[in-house]
Amino acid sequence: MNRLNVGFARVNITPAMGTPISGYYVVRLAERVLDELEATAVAFELGGKRALLISADISGLFYEFSKPICEQISRVTGVDEEAIFIVATHTHTGPEVNLNRRIEPEIQQKYYSFFTSRLTDAAVFALKDLKPARMAYAVGQAPGIAFVRRYRMKDGSTRTNPGVNNPDTVSPIGTVDERVGVLRFDREGGETVVLCNIGIHPDTVGGCSISADWPGFTRRILEKTLDNTRALLLNGAEGDVNHVNTSPAPGQNNDLTMDFDDVMRGYGHARHMGLTVAGAVMQVYSKAAYVPVDRLEARKSILRHPANLPRPEELPLAHMYNDLHRAGRDSEIPFEGMELTTVVAEAERMVELEHGPKEFELCMGALAIGDAALVGIPGEPFTQIGRELKQAPGWQLVMPLCCCNGYEGYFPTMDAYLEGGYEARSSIFRPGVAEAVIKSGLRLLEDIKKGV
């Protein structure tokens, strides 16, 4: 009988100071390091097949840049490219890795080369660390740290992050998924490896500091608390979920201060979230159910979806807002806070898609380890996507992974496009993309079950 082998490795990917930080539609350059950024690789081997799962503390990596890294890792290790999964934690205080931005291309090229070599190192180290293992699974709960960030307002509009205690807020649109999926691998002669999965935006730190945010705290807390254990946080369906409690009770705003976009942030709150997620893992760690593993299968497929092209009459205003923003004249755009971010993002989307393309390609993926499965989604899926994938028939545990083998933007549900808000207005995809992602992910899981 074939036996599962599991390997683990971790490398440092902290950038040099002055490296651009990803996100926020404004230039941010790294000024200090609050905690180190890391790339963690887990290798799997069963019956002559091998697979690699690599998580990195970055915001996201476009498919055009993640694919060459997968190809290099495949050349160096011999692992089939289809069985290599690169996942971003989506920290908002990590370096800009994509090379098609307009800021400091030389610095970015230097970091991209460093990043590629470091991920390759991690893959090689993890494969050298392969040891016989048995697998267990469980599901914990992490209450009180995840909140829907899209709200219905009194005027009938939809706003993303409307601010704390805003009297014009009526109710959140949707509910959060507080489940924490846990996979535990006990290795002979080696440390136990734990994978945990929940979907929440890691945007609790902000500013120009480098930090792995709450995913980093989760790893460190678990490894300090559980003897002889290494941990990996895999972020899930977080597209419409963040840490902002818009109606906080006394004490819930400790370690938080208001930031430029109506979002409260603080490093201490990232620690609080890491403690809560780690606590969810520890709730079930000792009682996880051990199951036989007789399958290691990986699949990738390309999903093509139409672009969210602008209408001709929308372009004059979009160009004006985009030009003002690029000139550093946001004060002349008649919006503030998150609403300003929304119209700037929407204008950028329209300008960039003025001449197409008509459709985009999305690299979907699935990795099955016995009757547990990881579904890779190349962007930011809404919570509903994660819920439906978790219900895939015939699986003991399904973990949806955001920002996996690509970062192509938001995947809002059909209702979200009708309601509005930052995610839908900035998405480069036509309505129906969430439903297409769900269908594609379920098909991959079904194909694996059927042995197709």
User: Each residue of 182-215: pLDDT tens digit?
Assistant: 999 999 999 999 999 999 999 999 999 999 999 9
pLDDT at 451: 86
pLDDT at 23: 81
Between the two ends of the chain, the Cα-to-Cα distance in Å is 22
pLDDT at 24: 83
For residue range 399-411, list pLDDT tens digits in order: 999 999 999 999 9
Cβ 303 vs Cβ 364: under 8 Å: yes
Both tokens assigned to 407: 């970062």
pLDDT at 401: 98
Q: What angle do CA 417, 239, 390 make, to 5 degrees?
A: 105
Check whether 104 has a pLDDT greater than 70. Answer: no
Average pLDDT of the residues in 85-91: 98
| Percent with pLDDT over 90 in the chain | 92
Cα dihedral sign, 157-161-165-171:
positive
Check whether 56 has a pLDDT greater than 90. Answer: yes
For residue range 262-276, list pLDDT tens digits in order: 899 999 999 999 999
For residue range 346-356, list pLDDT tens digits in order: 999 999 999 99
The chain-wide mean pLDDT, for the chain, equals 95
Between residues 182 and 336, the one the model is more confident about: 182
Q: Which of 401, 404, 410 is nearest to 434 (CA)?
A: 410
Q: Which of 109, 55, 169 is nearest to 402 (CA)?
A: 55
pLDDT at 338: 87
Q: Three-state DSSP class for 29?
A: strand
**pLDDT confidence band for 25 (50 / 70 / 90):** confident
Average pLDDT of the residues in 442-446: 98
pLDDT at 172: 95
Helices and strands in the chain, H and E counts: 10, 24
For residue range 280-295, list pLDDT tens digits in order: 999 999 999 999 999 9
Q: Three-state DSSP class for 176?
A: coil
Q: Three-state DSSP class for 41?
A: strand
